[in-house]
Amino acid sequence: MTSEYGGQETWQKDLYKLLRSNEVELFCYVPDGGHKTLINESIADPKVISVPLTTEEEGVAMCAGAHLGGTKSVLLMQSSGVGNCVNMFALLKNGQFPFVTIVTMRGEFGEMNPWQVPMGQGVQPIVEAMGMHCLRAETPEEVSTTTQAALDMAYKSNQSVAVLLTQKLIGAKPF
Amino acid sequence: MSNTRSLDRKSAVPAVVGNPDDFLIICGLAGASKDIAHLTNDGDNIFTMAGAMGGATAMGLGLALSRPDKKVLVVTGDGELLMNVGTLATVGILKPANLSILCVDNGHYGETGYQESHTQRGVDLNLIAQGSAIPITRTIDSEDQISEARQLLRDSNGASFILLRVNTEPPPSIKRSMDATERKIAFRKALLGNA
């Protein structure tokens, strides 16, 4: 089916392949329209564990726990979820845990829902204030290279990285 | 449910846990971390916290999913669990058979001056765990239940949740490492070698 906003299905499937080729085996998510293809790919893949969360901060702690066991993971969330994670990011910084979150952005380019704007505008300063790197993907071509950079920074340099899938990339949602 | 809180955590937690070497252990901040650091002499099979409140159960869940070959124990307190009690629902949908949660419930926020927690005022975390579809749940508030609890933590018939009701006697004193990076490295080295 055609995605309801943005022509994202092709690059989302490529992104899933990239994560799997990097041996990511745990996918934590809060349901999100922008991540729909990625989430469904993870649910359909018998070789990974796909976990719906009640709040995004659970995913931060889960990813840290998975690293203690030797498993690579990713947290998929929307920009509003970043606000739910802030204190849990302290665990990542204190423990120098490798961490990658892929964030679909709201509240920026062309946003039509004013409730999304405050947290969308807060994402980058908040993430950076908590000691994480913030990488933005503006075009479909940038998604894979940016995510690969994030995975390398995380799993080779023990960094925490947020990849922002910008609203210019995914399009403004009409609700 | 009886409202007794007669058990002392300093004896009850070690009795329920038994040999801590049987587990990989994730500990929530404050009392639970002190209980287990004291029991293990800050061992390399434990990861304790002094912050990230509300994260212990989720961290244990991530570890349990990563290592189905190991028994993972989360030890936390009522206040820490209440901060992210929704995580019990996430445990409940996955039901990892190698995950057990021990909530040391003293009904108070011991680190901040022993203010009453919600569990002292009628909230029952065991019922919340049951309602979250965790398959094995028990409330333990007397000595004669402890051996059953120790066994339940070790059974692998499904995820388990033990609510251990204790009095307000403080946790043991222990000087533990607060360096989460050093503890992470030690934990991974003990579990994974030099990975």
Whole-angstrom distance, CA of residue B134 vs CA of residue B92? 5
Determine the pLDDT at residue B128.
98
Residues of B in contact with A54 (CB under 8 A): 86-87, 89-90
Indicate which CATH number applies to the domain containing A51: 3.40.50.970
A2 pLDDT above the threshold of 70: no
Asked if B133 reaches chain A (Cβ–Cβ under 8 Å), the answer is: no
CATH number 3.40.50.970 is the correct assignment for the domain at B9-192: yes
For the segment A4-29, what is each residue's pLDDT rounded down to a tens digit? 555 678 899 999 999 999 999 999 99
Contact state of B52 with A87 under an 8 Å Cβ cutoff? yes
Whole-angstrom distance, CA of residue A98 vs CA of residue B49? 18
Averaged pLDDT, B88-99: 98
For chain A, percent of residues with pLDDT exceeding 90: 91
Contact state of A57 with B58 under an 8 Å Cβ cutoff? yes
Domain membership flag for residue A128: yes
Name the minimum distance, in Å, from the CA of B5 to any CA of chain A. 30
Domain membership flag for residue A4: no
Determine the pLDDT at residue B3.
58
Which B positions 34-73 lie with beta carbon below 8 A of chain A?
47, 49, 51-56, 58-67, 70
Nearest to A63 among B62, B67, B184 (CB): B62
Domain membership flag for residue A2: no
Name the minimum distance, in Å, from the CA of A162 to any CA of chain B. 19
- What's the number of domains chain A is made of? 1
Beta bridge partners of B108: B116
Name the minimum distance, in Å, from the CA of A28 to any CA of chain B. 10
Domain coverage including residue A96? 9-170
B102 pLDDT above the threshold of 60: yes
The ipTM of this complex is 0.96
Q: Where are the domains of chain B?
A: 9-192
Residues of A in contact with B25 (CB under 8 A): none
- The answer to whether B20 touches B40, Cβ cutoff 8 Å, is yes
Name the minimum distance, in Å, from the CA of A115 to any CA of chain B. 24
Determine the pLDDT at residue A1.
37
Name the minimum distance, in Å, from the CA of B13 to any CA of chain A. 23
Name the minimum distance, in Å, from the CA of A174 to any CA of chain B. 30
Whole-angstrom distance, CA of residue B141 vs CA of residue B158? 22
Which B positions 83-122 lie with beta carbon below 8 A of chain A?
84, 86-87, 89-90, 93-94
What predicted TM-score, i.e. pTM, was given to this entire model?
0.96
Determine the pLDDT at residue A5.
55
A3 pLDDT above the threshold of 50: no
Mapped onto helix, strand or coil, the DSSP state of residue B168 is coil
Domain membership flag for residue A35: yes
> Distance of CA B44 to CAs A74, B24, B25, B65, B187, Å?
26, 9, 9, 19, 5
A175 pLDDT above the threshold of 70: no
Domain membership flag for residue A3: no
Whole-angstrom distance, CA of residue A60 vs CA of residue A38? 18
B30 pLDDT above the threshold of 60: yes
- Residue to test with chain A: of B46, B81, B90, B94, most A Cβ within 10 A: B90
For the segment B129-187, what is each residue's pLDDT rounded down to a tens digit? 999 999 999 999 999 999 999 999 998 778 999 999 999 999 999 999 999 999 999 99
Asked if A62 reaches chain B (Cβ–Cβ under 8 Å), the answer is: yes
Contact state of B90 with A54 under an 8 Å Cβ cutoff? yes
Cβ atoms within 10 Å of B41's Cβ, excluding its own: 10
Determine the pLDDT at residue A7.
61
Domain membership flag for residue A175: no
Contact state of B66 with A68 under an 8 Å Cβ cutoff? yes
Whole-angstrom distance, CA of residue A168 vs CA of residue B169? 57
Nearest-5° Cα angle at B104, B98 to B110:
140
Asked if B195 reaches chain A (Cβ–Cβ under 8 Å), the answer is: yes
- The answer to whether A147 touches A93, Cβ cutoff 8 Å, is no
Whole-angstrom distance, CA of residue A44 vs CA of residue A13? 12
Contact state of B61 with A68 under an 8 Å Cβ cutoff? no
Three-state secondary structure readout of chain A: CCCCCCCCHHHHHHHHHHHHHCCEEEEEECCCHHHHHHHHHHHHCCCCEEEECCCHHHHHHHHHHHHHHCCEEEEEEEHHHHHHCHHHHHHHHHHCCCEEEEEECCCCCCCCCHHHHHHHHHHHHHHHHCCCEEEEECCHHHHHHHHHHHHHHHHHHCCEEEEEECHHHHCCCCC
The pLDDT confidence band at residue B22, using thresholds 50, 70 and 90, is: very high
